[in-house]
Amino acid sequence: MNLAIKDIRHNFGRFALTTGGVGMLLMVVMGMGGIYRGLVQDATLLIDRVGADLWIVQRDTRGPFAELSQVPANLVHRALAVPGVDTAREFVYHTIQRERNGKLLRIAVLGLSWPADKGKWIQLTAGRPLAQSHYEMIADESLGLLVGERIVLGKDSYEVVGTTHSMLNTNGDSIGVVTVSDAQAIQFDTAGEAVRLERSAREIRGQKSELASQQPALLENAAKPATELPPIARPQISAVMLTVSPGTNSKEVAKIISGWGDVSVFTHFQQGELLLKGLIEKARMQIGLFRILLTVIAAVIMALILYTMTLDKIHSIALLKLIGAPNTVILGLILQQALMLGVLGFGVAYLIGQRVFPKFPRRVILTDYDLLQLAIIVLVISIASSLLGIWKALKVSPNEALS
């Protein structure tokens, strides 16, 4: 005869409500773990998927994910000349905030090095990779853009040719992928009036210089587009990504490049570490500590619930002792109820979480490892929280059945 189940059946409504409450609490603990995991995965998603062995960034910076990094576009050709380098790609990355149909859109714009990189490494949920050098975009579903839709960024209109799922940056902004030149066009988009003013200013600066008085024809160039003026630098890129040839040690390539005075170089692992330790470390710790706190609170609440449930049965427990029930029967009654509360609460947490977490603005990732870890924690909490009730039950005298 299973006394634990008999008691639960007798007080089913109360037990169901209690289990629901514990389940909701565990769902929050589970959710915090999922948010933590989501934060880490979002942070390293790009680095992991883009498939670069080395990152060349502006000297003494920590790369485009941590801070502003600008390197000349021709760095790609310099890097390709290093022995052991297989491919070198430009990397342009910046965040924009625009309005579309009355709604704010935050897009982390990622530039692909066309034509070397057409985004075939991107996991698409619909559509195709980029097929032309301009005016095409791969957008994350969270932007609300469908394949075939168009979006105006700067002076140009971009057609969404492919969509991704949960491709977010560290801040949770959705990533939009275009070619490097389009990314730069979006980044350095300048209003027509600003261009005209700059050309006029260029002419005035020229008139003041001695060179213009010696070569008046130079002033004619002042009105030309910046791209047609050799002395004016091309727009810079954020970084250069390298892959090394098979059999080449990427650390040796990094050693060569780190000797250059204008750039710094990081391996794939170092870039990931910089992101985790630098950019999201505090958020990670905050969530981690909050999760620990919630786990402790869940344990305390479960202990109080189980203690109250034991107090409700104290007369029956005394009676069981009076008719000679061994301690194992009483211990089993409390422990089984504690485990049922924990296991069912975990189930409730999982089921509700599956429906609620996808509606969260940031990714909540429940990994098998985290779920298993939480399940073990819940079992330990269940056993630990029943100790108070067990202590009370073992202390009660059979005499109390007579009072």
Partner 1 sequence: MSTTPSTQLAIETQQVTKIYGSGNTEVVAMLDASMQVQQGEVVALLGPSGAGKSTFLTAVGLVNPPTSGQVIIGGQLVLDGPTAHANLRTFRRRHIGFIFQKSNLIPFLTALENVQIALQLNGESRNAARHRSLELMEYLGIADRADNLPSELSVGQQQRVAIARALANRPSVILADEPTAALDGHRGRQVMELFAQVAHEQSAGVIVVTHDHRSLDVFDTIYEMEDGKMQRQNAAAATQDR
Contact positions toward partner 1, by CB under 8 A? Answer: 1, 3, 6-7, 9-11, 316, 319-326, 329, 397-399, 401-402
Q: How far is the CB of 309 from partner 1 (least distance, A)?
A: 12
Q: How far is the CB of 391 from partner 1 (least distance, A)?
A: 18
The answer to whether 114 touches 182, Cβ cutoff 8 Å, is no
Closest CB to partner 1 among 286 and 327? 327
Closest CB to partner 1 among 101 and 403? 403
- In the chain, the amino acid numbered 312 is D
- What does the alpha-carbon distance between residue 165 and residue 252 come to, in Å, rounded to a whole number? 36
Note the Cα 383 to chain centre separation in Å: 34
Closest CB to partner 1 among 283 and 319? 319
The answer to whether 294 touches 28, Cβ cutoff 8 Å, is yes
Q: How far is the CB of 345 from partner 1 (least distance, A)?
A: 21
Q: How far is the CB of 330 from partner 1 (least distance, A)?
A: 10
The answer to whether 243 touches 51, Cβ cutoff 8 Å, is yes
What DSSP state is assigned to residue 71?
B
Q: What phi, psi does 176 have (nearest 5°)? A: -115, 130
Closest CB to partner 1 among 79 and 320? 320
Q: How far is the CB of 324 from partner 1 (least distance, A)?
A: 2
Closest CB to partner 1 among 104 and 402? 402
Plot region of 219 (φ>0 → left; ψ -120 to 50 → alpha; else → beta)? alpha
Closest CB to partner 1 among 165 and 315? 315
Q: How far is the CB of 13 from partner 1 (least distance, A)?
A: 13
Alpha helices, H only, 144-217 = 180-187, 192-208, 210-214
